[in-house]
Chain A
Amino acid sequence: MSDISNFFSRMLESYPLFFEGLLLTLELTVVAILLGIVGGLVVAFFKLSNSRVLRAIAGVYITLIRGTPLIVQIFFFYFGLSELGISAYWCATIGLALHNSAYIAEIFRGSIQSIDHGQTEAGRSLGMSSLQVMRRIVLPQAFLRALPPLGNQFITCLKDSSLAAFISSSELFNIATAQGARTFEEMTYLLIVAVYYLVLVLIFQGIVHLLERKFSAGEERVKTYDRKKNHGKGQLAQ
């Protein structure tokens, strides 16, 4: 019982510290994902291009990034870039952004390829250039399809950002370990930080779910219409 009350009192008293860490965690994640989306789109276009060289470059990039641990990449940028006077925060952001760009590239590649080729043909038959077709016809549809996996990638990135603690970026996990070391109550602060992460993840899962529902509204409308129709038939049969 005293353990539990201790946990809650520690949680309450450490709240201002953790709140700052939480803001930094969110900032890291949002900036890394936004940069990752830009980079991922570029890598996806390389992967889908007609040029063998560009496809090969994208392939090697994706393989290297997905084939090595994120912590290695973060340290790599830390030791490589901090000498140039770049802060630990930006080393972590760049590391996370590049890491995510490889995964997001595959998300975009898949969603672009999933758009029916007839859409491209229709656009081209109307005299649109391939660039116009990509920008106005294919990408808007591909983005919608990419939204749920992008949301999941955001959540993964949110948790992965804890690795930035190892290059002394003072986000959530770093604060937890620092508090634990200072007070010798490591378990308490680990539990506290786990709660922060869990709540964040649950919130963002909810947002992703809402976005999915909002953006698939067209398909939803048809589904509900059909359901109503079936429902009506069921009642008639009774």
Chain B
Amino acid sequence: MIERKIMVKVSSLNKSFGDLHVLKDVDLQVAEKEVVVLIGSSGSGKSTLLRCLNFLEMKESGSIEIDGVQIEPKSTNLNVFRQNVGMVFQHFNLFPHKTVLENVIEAPVVVKKVPKDQAIAEARVLLEKVGLADKEAVYPNKLSGGQKQRVAIARALAMKPKVMLFDEPTSALDPELVGEVLVTMKDLAAEGMTMIVVTHEMGFAKEAADLVVYMHDGQIVEAGKPMDLFTAPKQERTRSFLQAIL
């Protein structure tokens, strides 16, 4: 197999909220085009890890490298850096005062100064891709949860990021709407997007992940290919977690 470029490299990352030590010396490497799924019970630090990667939470110590560049809040322009790292949230966070199309073109036009016509053309391609071409003029409150999340994915993709972060993208959805979002995510993975996904959808992890990472109590307990980790976990804690959820 060819050696792939390392897209995300996290070394001895630490983060606390007050007395609570949420991330303890976390190391993680994600290669280009790789899909990494973070699993673990709530409070294990997986969402915090994700949020540290685009500096929505500030790390305390350790280093974060994206595409070979070390990111430090003091010396890096975070607004420029964040354009490379797309994020999809549990609660979609679409802009309710803007239509679907306006949601998608907002950042390219305002941040990247892309001409509006071009941004609209690109946005239509993305909306087509997530299967919502017919909804561009609609306001978010007229969409189902699954549709909202697909718009949110298109909105993040509009900035042409190098990495996409998904923070429990299907946890707020009705069960029958989970599938459509996962399909969109799988398509994205198949296209070669580098993705880090926090999810409880083990089916998605099995099918789409190159690497599954189990976190517990702020630490990475075990990481491996989905087949290995799900069928033959090496650690006792991983085993009991998997037994509890499967």
Contact = CB atoms under 8 A, between A and B. Distances in A.
A129 interface: yes
A132 B142 contact: no
Contacts of B54: 125
A75 B106 CA distance: 49
Interface in B126-178: 139, 141-142, 152, 155-156, 159
A144 B112 CA distance: 28
B150 to A, nearest CB: 15
A10 B87 CA distance: 70
A204 to B, nearest CB: 25
Contacts, number: 70
A141 B142 CA distance: 17
Nearest to A222: B141
Interface in A87-127: 116, 118-119, 121-127
A221 B142 contact: yes
Interface residues of B, number: 29
Given A125-B56, A127-B80, A137 B91 contact: no
B46 to A, nearest CB: 17
Contacts of B93: 116, 118-119, 121-122
B95 A125 contact: no
Nearest to A127: B83
B4 interface: no
Contact of A128 (B89, B91, B97, B107): B107
A35 B11 CA distance: 53
Given A119-B93, A121-B56, A127 B141 contact: no
A140 B80 CA distance: 24
Nearest to A115: B96
Contacts of B42: none
A183 B121 CA distance: 74
8 closest A-B pairs (Cβ-Cβ)? A126-B107, A122-B93, A127-B83, A125-B87, A118-B93, A127-B82, A127-B111, A140-B97
Interface of A: 116, 118-119, 121-129, 132, 136-137, 140-141, 144, 218-219, 221-222
16 contacts: A116-B93, A122-B87, A122-B94, A122-B152, A124-B82, A125-B54, A126-B82, A126-B111, A126-B159, A127-B81, A127-B82, A127-B83, A218-B96, A218-B97, A218-B141, A221-B141
